Amino acid sequence: MRTAWAWVLLAPPLAMTLLLFVGPLVYLFWVSVHEASSSELYGHALTLRNYVEVVGDSFYLSIIRRTLGVAAAILGFCLLIGYPVAYFVALQPARRRMHVLLLLLFPLMVSNVVRAYGWVAILGRRGVVNTGLRELRLIDAPLDLLYTTEAVVVGLMTILLPYMVISIANTLSALDRSFEEAAQSLGAGPVRTFVHVTLPLSTPGVASGVLLVFLLTLSAYVTITLLGGPRSKLLVSMIYDGVTAFQWPHAAALAFVLLALALALTALILAVLRPRRVQGVGR
């Protein structure tokens, strides 16, 4: 009786996840290893050509390199700005910390298209920066700030920054202060204490922040399109173009290249930061 009841609870969410998450992905992979077809979604013959075309093409390799470069720049800035902010947040008294975190959480709930539009309004030819500089008579003609890779980095970085801050702040505020006090009472200065005690202890938060920001960067099609324009396309833009051109096997292969990239870098990030070591699980 108890087990029968348990199955009633599990069956609907499991069916939903298998049918509309796992299933479609398996099907997409199946299509990615088939030939293209002009009359149907995909041809009959099995082939690895879709993957070979991506990995062996210097155009796609340069897109992949640009994607990784943009992701690395976003991660770098997010860490550089996000870590001190998280530290600031963690040092606040509990009630005010809650307010600051809520203020950081709110922008994450606003749709990314609205936040990207905000950057279009700032960086566009008639935008805030260009009108400001013209009124100060620093420039004569508007600068082309939008539709550049830099615009993508700045826009996406600020859109994703709250994830980094919240992840690190949660770890830092849960940290036992007595570790830092012990280091200081043993004669370590604030800098030494930070580098050798606080920073290593906060790696679980850093790891989850880095992973979130990285994975969200890879699939941020709308932000990349609005801020980067046609000249700063990333891997995700290629997937979209493939789908709209009905090149299903090709688009499917690109999607799995993106996924492989995501998995490989997730493994790399976890291997470098080793968050589990801090929690006392393994070395």
Partner 1 sequence: MMPSAAVGRTIRGSATAIAFALIVLPILIVVITAFSPGDYFEFPPPGLSMRWFIEFFRLAEMRNAFALSLELALAAATLATALGTMGALFLARRRGWIAALLQSLFLAPLVFPTIILGVALLLLYRTVGMPVFSGLLLAHCIVGMPYAFRTVLASAQALDPALEEAGQSLGASPSRTLFFVTLPLVWQGVVSGWLFAFIVSFGELNTALFLTGPGLTTLPIEIFSYLQFQGSQLVIAAASTLQVALIVVMVTAVERIVGMGRIIRAR
> CB 153 → partner 1: shortest distance, Å?
12
Q: How far is the CB of 176 from partner 1 (least distance, A)?
A: 19
Q: Tell me which residue of 278, 77, 248 sits closest to 165, measured CA to CA.
A: 77
Interaction between residue 168 and partner 1 (CB under 8 A) = no
User: If 0-12 CB within 10 Å is exposed, 13-18 middle and 19+ buried, where does residue 29 land?
Assistant: middle
Q: Does 179 bind partner 1 (CB under 8 A)?
A: no
Which ranges in the chain belong to alpha helices (H)? 2-17, 23-32, 49-55, 58-91, 94-109, 112-123, 128-135, 149-174, 177-185, 190-193, 199-201, 203-218, 221-228, 235-244, 248-273, 275-278
From residue 48 to residue 77, the character string flagging contacts with partner 1 as x (rule: CB under 8 A) and all else as - is ------------------------------
The residue (of 46 and 128) whose beta carbon lies closer to partner 1 is 128
Span 218-277, contacts to partner 1 by CB under 8 A: 218-219, 221-222, 225-226, 236, 239-240, 243, 248, 251-252, 255-256, 258-259, 262
- Looking at residue 34, the DSSP 8-state letter turns out to be B
Of 127-166, which residues contact partner 1 (CB under 8 A)?
127-128, 131, 157-158, 161-162, 165-166
Question: Is the Cβ of residue 9 or residue 141 nearer to partner 1 in the bound state?
Answer: 9
281 near partner 1, judged by CB under 8 A: no
- Whichever of 45 and 260 has its CB closer to partner 1, that residue is 260
Nearer to partner 1, 58 or 138 (CB): 138
Q: Does 172 bind partner 1 (CB under 8 A)?
A: no
Residue 277 Cβ vs partner 1, minimum distance, rounded to whole Å: 20
Count of C-beta atoms within a 10 Å radius of residue 200 = 14
Rounded least distance, CB 215 to partner 1, Å: 5
Residues 235-269: b if buried by 16+ CB within 10 A, e if exposed: bbbbbbebeeeebbbbbbbbbbbbeebbeebeeeb
**Interface map 88-127 toward partner 1 (x if CB under 8 A):** xx-x------xx-xxxxxxx-xxxxxxx-xxxxxx-x-xx
245 contacts: CB under 8 Å, gap ≥ 6 = none
Q: Are 197 and 180 in contact (CB under 8 A)?
A: yes
Please identify which residue in 10, 45, 48, 195 interacts with partner 1, judged by CB under 8 A.
Answer: 10
HSE-CB of 229 using CA atoms within 13 angstroms:
12
Q: Residue 152 or 161: which CB sits closer to partner 1?
A: 161
Residue type, 10: L
Contact 73, 153 (CB under 8 A): yes
Q: Minimum CB separation from partner 1 for residue 120, in Å?
A: 6
Q: Which amino acid is at 116?
A: A
Confirm or reject binding of residue 199 to partner 1 (CB under 8 A).
no
